[in-house]
Amino acid sequence: MKSATWLIHMMLPYRRRIILALILSSLTVTSHIGLMATSSYLLARAALHPPVLDLMVTIVGVRFFGISRAVFRYLERYVAHDVTFRVLSQIRVKFYQAIEPLAPARLLNFRSADLLRRIVADVEIQQNLFLRVMSPPIVALLVLSGYGFFLARYDLRFTAILAAGFLMAGLLIPWIVKSLSRGVGLSIVALKTKLNTQVADSLLGMTELVAYGQAQSQLISVRHTNERLTDQQRRNAWQTAFSSALTWMIGNLSMWFILILGIMLVEQGKLSGVNLGMLALGTLSSFEAIVPLAQVPHHLEQNQAAAERLLELIQAQPTVKDHQSMVSIPKDMSLVFKEVSFKYGEREPWALHRLSFKIPQRGKVAIVGASGAGKTSVVNLLLRFWEFDQGSIELGGHSLRDYSQQEARNYVGVVTQRTHIFNATIHENLLLANPEASDEDVKSAAQKAKLHDFIQSLPKGYDSFVGEGGFKLSGGQRQRLAIARVLLKNAPILILDEAMEGLDPITERDVWEEVYKLMEGRTTLVITHQLTGLEKMDEILVLDKGQVVERGKHGELLEQNGFYRRLWNSRVALHAAT
């Protein structure tokens, strides 16, 4: 229900357009009623052979309704969809605004494909909320009261029959169908998911399936799921057909009862026979307003599920919060970790346990260790993506928590293997680091990162598109772009987080040259599991399971004949032959 309130809140600013859409929608149905009612009235009048002039008003009425219905329908659809898409656009913006502070800590458990599905598909489904969930009952109610009022002028019992028909077709049948189909919808969704998984398994895991001779049995299990899905879909189809046939029948039965009541009234002289056909056919036409009601529960269910998925993230609290009124200016660019402990979740093991180190201004420290040793956690804490549990981190003599998230990040330049290259021009990708940078600045950063010549060789130079629809950057070029970004940002602290991962040895050596230049004059933290380029470090920390097991300079650590030495030796065997 929370999700419904939220969605309605999103719609409030557009209430005028919404009301207009509802009125237009009711007028569409009214025109339909009007056409059939005035037509049959015209025939009945004409059957009494009056002068043609007497019929002119009715004839104009018939022609008016003949045209107006199509026009109203067009306007109604246009207005309703326009307002719906305006709301959707707002929902997307709200969703993004809500998840932005959550990244990356709270979004760790969501794949980007899942988030994308929410911001695109789950939002897209919300278009049904107004068009298929909220609008139909309101329109039905408007038509019921409008036409009911018209019928009441002849006899109140006509209105009673109409109301009974509307209630049965509009409330009772959807309710019956909903209780009948309880579970069917869910099991269709579940089976579809299962089918999807099995088909994905069949195609993505085909190598294994074929090699292990399991292709046939996989096909059989897909068939099995497919058959079960068909069975559920059949149940669903039976119910849908049942409800639409029943709705149609109730409309006709209402007409039938109106006809009988009409005949009785004519017999008693309380109703002119001229009106008989008009009342009956008008009633039948008014049931057009009921037809979309049958699908309301179905759409409501879908809508709610999607809305809840959206709200789940919109209402999530960010892990890290900025304190109020914090203005800290670092005294220098030193970094200190004191007994820092951190875990990703209550029940998780320590990712870092009592980690202490100090990097003086312009100092160079490396953290090495196998994957899962906790190296990346250090970066996550420094960038204030996560909040540490115990100990303290100081930047320039102040606690890191005294800086706002954005301020803390402003002091830090990061080169990581995960640097995202946006599907935009090279120029835009570089400008990201410093939107105010001049073309000269961008060019000089690219030159320093040894990327300039390559960019110049592209047909469109700095305006060439990267990624989809453009060209792909090689691993080395990506890293150089990341370096150029850091140069543009010109942050006093530099973090290299597995920056050389995935580069071939020759490229790696070249990139290191640029990195060494980048380190000059900056406080540097290098995070790596490869041991190249560490000779120039002031200190190397060897991390295992969140704790420092060895520390010292490269030469010292090699002499210690411990973990670092073993890592060093195993590189011979580890390195790819290709």
Partner 1 sequence: MFDKRLIREGRSVWRFLLLTISLSIGIALLAVAQAWFFSGVVSRVFLEGANLKETWNFLLMILAIIITRAIFQWGSEVSAFEVASYIKLNLRERLLKHIMSLGPLYTRGERSGELISTVIDGIEALEDYFSKYLPQLLLAAGIPFVILCFVFPRDWKSGVILLVTGPLIPIFMMLIGKLAEKKSLQQWKDLSWMSAHFLDILQGLTTLKVFGQAKNQTRVIERVSESFRRSTLSVLRIAFLSALMLEFLATISTALVAVTIGLRLVNGTLSYSSGLFLLLLAPEFYTPLRTLGLNFHAGLSGVNAAARIFEILDAPLHNEENVNQTEFKTDTPALPGNFQITFQDVSLTYQAGGAPVLKGINLSINSGEQIAIVGPSGGGKTSVAQLLLGFINPTSGNIQINGVSLNRISKEKLLNEIAYVPQNTYLFAGSVAENIRLGRPSAGFEDLVRAAQEASAHEFIMKLPEGYETYLGEGGTRLSGGQAQRIALARAFLKNAQLLILDEATSSLDLESEKYVQEALARLLQGRTALIIAHRLDTVFQADRILVMDQGQIVEAGTHMELVREQGLYHSFLKEYRGEIG
Q: Which residues inside 73-102 make contact with partner 1, applying CB under 8 A?
A: 73-74, 77-78, 81-82, 85-86, 88-89, 92-93, 96-97, 99-100
Is residue 576 within the footprint of partner 1 (CB under 8 A)?
Answer: yes
Q: Cβ of residue 339: shortest distance to partner 1, in angstroms? A: 26
Q: Among 223, 270, 331, 358, which residue interacts with partner 1 (rule: CB under 8 A)?
A: 223
Residue count at the site for partner 1 (CB under 8 A)?
Answer: 148
Question: Applying CB under 8 A, does 277 fall inside the site for partner 1?
Answer: yes
Asked whether 550 and 562 are in contact (CB, 8 A), the reply is yes
Report the largest interatomic distance among the alpha carbons of the chain, rounded to a whole angstrom.
119
Q: Which is nearer to partner 1, 192 or 354 (CB)?
A: 192
183 vs 372, which CB is nearer to partner 1? 372
Q: Which of 4, 20, 115, 458 binds partner 1 (CB under 8 A)?
A: 115
Strands 398-399 and 390-395: antiparallel
DSSP state of 251: H
For tokens 């879909």, name the residue: 233
- Find the binder of partner 1 among 1, 12, 211, 329 (CB under 8 A): 211
- Using the minimum distance from each CB to partner 1, give the nearer residue, 144 or 383: 383
Which region among 158-166, 349-357, 547-555, 566-574 touches partner 1 (by CB under 8 A)? 566-574
The pair phi, psi for residue 254, each rounded to 5°, is -60, -45
- Contact between 326 and partner 1 by CB under 8 A: the answer reads no
Site string for partner 1, 359-388 (x = CB under 8 A): -----------xxx----------x-x---
| Residue 25 identity | S
Residue whose CB is less far from partner 1, 90 or 361: 90
Given CA atoms 348, 420, 443, 441 in this order, what sign does their dihedral have?
Answer: negative
Q: Hey, which residues between 252 and 271 contact partner 1 (CB under 8 A)?
A: 252-253, 256, 259-260, 262-264, 266-267
**203 scored as a contact of partner 1 (CB under 8 A):** yes
H or E element at residue 229 = helix 215-267
59: its two tokens: 């004839």
Instruction: Convert 383-396 to b/e letters by CB count within 10 Å (16 or more is b).
Output: bbbbebeebebbbb
Residue 502's φ and ψ, nearest 5 degrees, are 80, 5
427 and 377 Cβ atoms separated by less than 8 Å: no
Residue 490 interacts with partner 1 (CB under 8 A): yes or no: no
Q: Does 348 bind partner 1 (CB under 8 A)?
A: no
Residues 39-78 touching partner 1, rule: CB under 8 A, are 39-40, 42-47, 49-50, 52, 55, 58-59, 62-63, 65-67, 69-71, 73-74, 77-78
Q: How far apart are CA 433 and CA 435, in angstroms?
A: 6
Q: Which of 19, 57, 116, 156 binds partner 1 (CB under 8 A)?
A: 116
Looking at beta carbons only, is 67 or 456 nearer to partner 1?
67
- CA–CA dist 280, 252 (Å, integer): 9
- Residue with Cβ nearer partner 1 (159 or 247): 247
Contacts of partner 1 in 496-515 (CB under 8 A): 505, 509
Q: Is 577 in the site for partner 1 (CB under 8 A)?
A: yes
Q: Is 414 in the site for partner 1 (CB under 8 A)?
A: yes
Which residue in the set 157, 338, 409, 553 belongs to the binding site for partner 1 (CB under 8 A)?
409
Give residues with Cβ within 8 angstroms of 396, minimum separation 6: 328, 329, 330, 331, 332, 333, 334, 411
Of 123 and 300, which CB lies nearer to partner 1 in the complex structure?
A: 123
The answer to whether 165 contacts partner 1 (rule: CB under 8 A) is no
Selected binder of partner 1 within 175, 212, 471, 516 (CB under 8 A): 212
Site for partner 1 in 230-249 (CB under 8 A): 230, 233-234, 237-238, 240-242, 244-246, 248-249
Calpha distance 196→15 (Å, rounded): 40
Q: Which of 163, 176, 274, 558 binds partner 1 (CB under 8 A)?
A: 274
Q: Kindly state the DSSP code that residue 13 receives in the 8-state scheme.
A: G
Contact between 516 and partner 1 per CB under 8 A: no
Q: Which is nearer to partner 1, 176 or 263 (CB)?
A: 263
Torsion of CA 292, 297, 299, 303, to 10 degrees: 140
Name 133's Cβ contacts closer than 8 Å, sequence gap at least 6.
Answer: 296, 299, 300, 303
Beta carbon nearer to partner 1, 114 or 339? 114
- Do the strands 493-497 and 523-528 form a parallel or antiparallel pair, or are they unpaired? parallel
Q: How far apart are CA 154 and CA 133, in angstroms?
A: 33
Q: At closest approach, how far in Å is the CB of 513 from partner 1?
A: 15
- Choose which of 13, 104, 183, 349 interacts with partner 1 (CB under 8 A): 104
* φ/ψ of residue 116, rounded to 5: -65, -40
**Site membership for partner 1, residue 555 (CB under 8 A):** no
From 109-117, 166-174, 304-312, 353-361, give the range in contact with partner 1 by CB under 8 A: 109-117
Stretch near partner 1 under the rule CB under 8 A, chosen from 3-11, 15-23, 152-160, 188-196: 188-196
Nearer to partner 1, 179 or 578 (CB): 578
Is 222 a binder of partner 1 (CB under 8 A)? yes
Ordered DSSP codes for 428-459: HHHHTT-TT--HHHHHHHHHHTT-HHHHHHST
Instruction: In angstroms, give the least distance from the CB of 211 to partner 1.
Output: 4
Residue environment code for 129-154, b if the CB has 16+ CB neighbours within 10 A, otherwise e: bbbbbbbbbbbbebbbebbbebbeeb
* Residue list 415-474, contact with partner 1 (CB under 8 A): 418-420, 422-423, 432-435, 467-468
Nearer to partner 1, 140 or 258 (CB): 258
SS3 (DSSP) at 524 = strand
Q: Is 19 in the site for partner 1 (CB under 8 A)?
A: no
- What whole-number distance in Å separates Cα of residue 441 and Cα of residue 438? 5
- Measured CA to CA, the distance from residue 198 to residue 43 in angstroms comes to 63
Among 157, 184, 187, 201, binds partner 1 (CB under 8 A): 201
Q: Which residues contact 71 (CB under 8 A, 6 or more apart)?
A: none
